[in-house]
């Protein structure tokens, strides 16, 4: 995305607030004009204070009144302008975030699976924030800065051309100095951030796994490792910070050159009567104001460039191809009977790596299908296809005779109750988590579901029972307990079909059996798909799919597969080979 395109897109968001933008621009002009007017008034007043007995008191009173009015107006305009800018910035940011989130909810799983979630989060949060800072700064400082420069320039040229030329000639020097320093320090900053990255990696590794560090009594050696990086970081930080901090004194020095130049040159002009003392004092304060925005603008420009880069990253997310929307005539699947048919299905995640090829399967209502195979063999892929997290490349999957691409995603997915090995709970109360699929469920139903999934007894023992708030990582709960909650969540929705992907892998075998019994009762007459590596779990299945390297190598029931003496029997027997 080119910078120009990004700017166009940003402008499209801002357009909604165009009246406020115009107001803000007008107010910026007003503020600057009034701010520049005050030194003129002050200068005029100084010209009225000439010497003992030569003071025009009534004139001074008039000017004082004027300054008072101008000052109140300036303050008011400034405040309204700031508020306007805040409004525009925060609302644009809000709109962008909303659009980004909306897209997030509609992105195909393919995108989300292949992009680190941390990166996406940082786009929605950190990048948008940086963009907001840049935008706000752009609004408040860039406009006023440019207008201030123009305003002072015009005034100075009108008042006295030679003195103005002195100012105009010297000021760009400060610009150059700032640039010079910035380019020289760039490599130092790069080194600093690289070293910092290295240190952060070490911190994450060692503090993240601190118990292991302590287990092996490696604290001292880890501390030394840290100290070594820390020393390097100190060295390059010092350089980067010191050399970049010269910018300020250097530009200030240039400013004082401007000031001295105006002072001397102005004084010579004043002697010849080319300018009054009041005007000269006014000129001096302009000299200060004129150079200031130059320094600011160079800062703002880098900030804006940074903001545009961030905006580009967010827009890239927002413009990502969404999943194919549900077809217009898509059917709403209601009370599915549980006929699932996979017909010559082909699927692969990446074109290079073939995965599922010519996969056929017919599941009658109420049948239990188990999928087995070593880790990484593609068991989860089947689930991805059934849930339509991914679409098949060729062939079709049908539920109750309808191709799932002709069923609305929502109704297809809610027809399945899904429990995954990767337990996911949201930050919130236990009750909210269980009720996720059916927010209107009554307290009794929630408890009923929790009891059926054997979660009730541990929930009861938690400090606030069902109102206990759990964190995003489910902190405080063991993996097994989290799995029980995920099961309760599905138990509550009573879907017509079930998908259990290693749903009980972290639960001890005794509890597992109890849960399976609850499942068995629930699954009565419901079609279910079970992924498991504990072969004891799947023995009862009607159909067992044995997968290896993405292919279905064997298909049948426990007895027939054992009789076959193939891969399944090998897997099964290894369990008892002691």
120 binding other proteins? (CB under 8 A): yes
Contact indicator for 546, 565 with CB cutoff of 8 Å:
no
Q: Which of 28, 30, 32, 104 binds other proteins (CB under 8 A)?
A: 104
By the 10 Å C-beta count (0-12 exposed, 13-18 middle, 19+ buried), 494 is classed as: middle
374 binding other proteins? (CB under 8 A): yes
* Nearest to other proteins of 8, 55 (CB atom): 55
Three-class DSSP category at 342: strand
- The closest of 175, 179, 228 to 199, measured between CA atoms, is 228
* Nearest to other proteins of 8, 121 (CB atom): 121
Q: Which of 94, 354, 362, 364 binds other proteins (CB under 8 A)?
A: 94
458 binding other proteins? (CB under 8 A): yes
* Nearest to other proteins of 257, 343 (CB atom): 257
* Nearest to other proteins of 359, 390 (CB atom): 390
321 binding other proteins? (CB under 8 A): no
d(CA 81, CA 31): 9
Q: Which of 124, 330, 370, 498 binds other proteins (CB under 8 A)?
A: 124
246 binding other proteins? (CB under 8 A): yes
418 binding other proteins? (CB under 8 A): yes
Contact indicator for 477, 434 with CB cutoff of 8 Å:
no
* Nearest to other proteins of 9, 103 (CB atom): 103
335 binding other proteins? (CB under 8 A): no
Q: Which of 16, 22, 26, 83 binds other proteins (CB under 8 A)?
A: 83
Strand partners for 399: 340, 402
Q: In the bound complex, what is the minimum distance in angstroms from residue 7's beta carbon to other proteins?
A: 23
Q: Using CB under 8 A, which residues numbered 513 to 552 contact other proteins?
A: 513-514, 517-518, 520-521, 536, 539-540
231 binding other proteins? (CB under 8 A): yes
The span from the first CA to the last CA of the chain, in angstroms, equals: 60
d(CA 459, CA 447): 10
184 binding other proteins? (CB under 8 A): no
* Nearest to other proteins of 3, 202 (CB atom): 202
Q: In the bound complex, what is the minimum distance in angstroms from residue 572's beta carbon to other proteins?
A: 10
Question: How far is CA 147 from each of CA 22, 168, 289, rounded to the nearest angstrom?
Answer: 15, 15, 11
Q: Which residues contact 206 (CB under 8 A, 6 or more apart)?
A: 213, 222, 225, 226
* Nearest to other proteins of 142, 280 (CB atom): 280
Q: Which of 166, 372, 452, 561 binds other proteins (CB under 8 A)?
A: 452
Q: In the bound complex, what is the minimum distance in angstroms from residue 471's beta carbon to other proteins?
A: 9
Three-class DSSP category at 56: coil
178 binding other proteins? (CB under 8 A): no
d(CA 365, CA 401): 12
2 binding other proteins? (CB under 8 A): no
442 binding other proteins? (CB under 8 A): no
Question: For helices 143-159 and 277-318, what crossing angle results, to 10°?
Answer: 150
- The closest of 59, 25, 21, 24 to 43, measured between CA atoms, is 59
Q: Which of 5, 11, 16, 68 binds other proteins (CB under 8 A)?
A: 68
d(CA 484, CA 497): 19
125 binding other proteins? (CB under 8 A): yes
493 binding other proteins? (CB under 8 A): yes
Q: In the bound complex, what is the minimum distance in angstroms from residue 349's beta carbon to other proteins?
A: 15
217 binding other proteins? (CB under 8 A): yes
Q: Which of 19, 158, 183, 211 binds other proteins (CB under 8 A)?
A: 211
Structure token digits, residue 175: 């610009």
Structure token digits, residue 509: 């075998």
d(CA 120, CA 114): 11
* Nearest to other proteins of 285, 357 (CB atom): 285
- The closest of 452, 479, 475, 455 to 465, measured between CA atoms, is 455
16 binding other proteins? (CB under 8 A): no
Contact indicator for 283, 262 with CB cutoff of 8 Å:
yes
């Amino acid at each position: 995305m080119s910078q120009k395109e990004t700017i166009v897109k940003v402008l499209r968001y801002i357009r909604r607030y165009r009246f406020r933008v115009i107001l803000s621009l007008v107010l910026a002009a007003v503020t600057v004009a009034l701010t520049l007017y005050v030194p003129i008034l002050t200068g005029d007043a100084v010209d009225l204070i000439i010497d003992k007995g030569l003071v025009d008191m009534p004139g001074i009173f008039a000017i004082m009144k004027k300054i008072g009015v101008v000052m109140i107006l300036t303050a008011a305009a400034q405040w309204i302008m700031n508020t306007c800018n805040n409004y525009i910035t925060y609302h644009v940011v809000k709109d962008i975030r909303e659009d980004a989130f909306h897209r997030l909810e509609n992105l195909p799983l393919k995108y989300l699976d292949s992009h680190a979630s941390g990166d996406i989060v940082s786009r929605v949060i950190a990048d948008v924030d940086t963009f907001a800072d840049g935008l706000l700064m752009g609004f408040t400082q860039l406009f006023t800065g440019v207008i201030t420069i123009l305003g002072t320039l015009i005034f100075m040229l009108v008042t006295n051309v030679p003195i103005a030329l002195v100012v105009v000639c010297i000021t760009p020097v400060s610009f150059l100095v700032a640039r010079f320093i910035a380019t020289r320090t760039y490599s130092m900053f790069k080194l600093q951030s690289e070293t910092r990255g290295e240190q952060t990696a070490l911190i994450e590794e060692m503090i993240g796994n601190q118990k292991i560090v302590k287990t092996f009594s490696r604290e001292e050696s880890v501390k030394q490792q840290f100290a070594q990086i820390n020393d390097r970081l100190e060295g390059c930080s010092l350089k980067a910070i010191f050399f970049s901090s010269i910018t300020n004194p250097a530009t200030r020095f240039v400013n004082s050159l401007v000031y001295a130049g105006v002072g001397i040159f102005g004084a010579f002009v004043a002697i010849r009567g080319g300018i009054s003392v009041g005007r000269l004092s006014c000129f001096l304060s302009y000299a200060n104001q004129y150079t200031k925005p130059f320094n600011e603008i160079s800062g703002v420009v880098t900030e804006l460039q940074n903001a545009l880069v961030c905006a580009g990253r967010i827009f890239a997310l927002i413009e990502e191809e969404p999943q194919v929307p549900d077809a217009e005539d898509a059917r709403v699947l209601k009370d599915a009977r549980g006929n699932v048919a996979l017909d010559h299905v082909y699927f692969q995640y990446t074109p290079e790596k073939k995965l599922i090829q010519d996969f056929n399967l017919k599941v009658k209502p109420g049948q239990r299908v188990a999928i087995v195979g070593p880790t990484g063999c593609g068991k989860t892929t089947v689930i991805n296809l059934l849930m339509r997290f991914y679409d098949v490349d060729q062939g079709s999957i049908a539920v109750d005779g309808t191709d799932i691409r002709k069923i609305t995603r929502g109704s297809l997915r809610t027809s399945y109750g899904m429990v995954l090995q990767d337990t996911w709970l949201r930050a919130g109360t236990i009750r909210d988590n269980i009720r996720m699929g059916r927010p209107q469920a009554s307290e009794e139903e929630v408890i009923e579901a929790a009891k059926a999934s054997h979660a009730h007894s541990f929930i009861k023992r938690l400090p606030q029972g069902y109102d206990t708030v759990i964190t995003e990582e489910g902190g405080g709960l063991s993996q097994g307990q989290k799995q029980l909650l995920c099961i309760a969540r599905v138990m509550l929705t009573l879907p017509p079909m079930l998908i259990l992907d290693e749903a009980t892998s972290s639960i001890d075998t005794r509890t597992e059996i109890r849960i399976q019994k609850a499942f068995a009762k629930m699954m009565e007459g419901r079609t279910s798909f079970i992924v498991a590596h504990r072969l004891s779990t799947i023995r009862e299945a009607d159909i067992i799919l044995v997968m290896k390297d993405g292919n279905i190598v064997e298909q049948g029931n426990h007895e027939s597969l054992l009789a076959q003496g193939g891969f399944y029997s090998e897997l099964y027997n290894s369990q008892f080979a002691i």
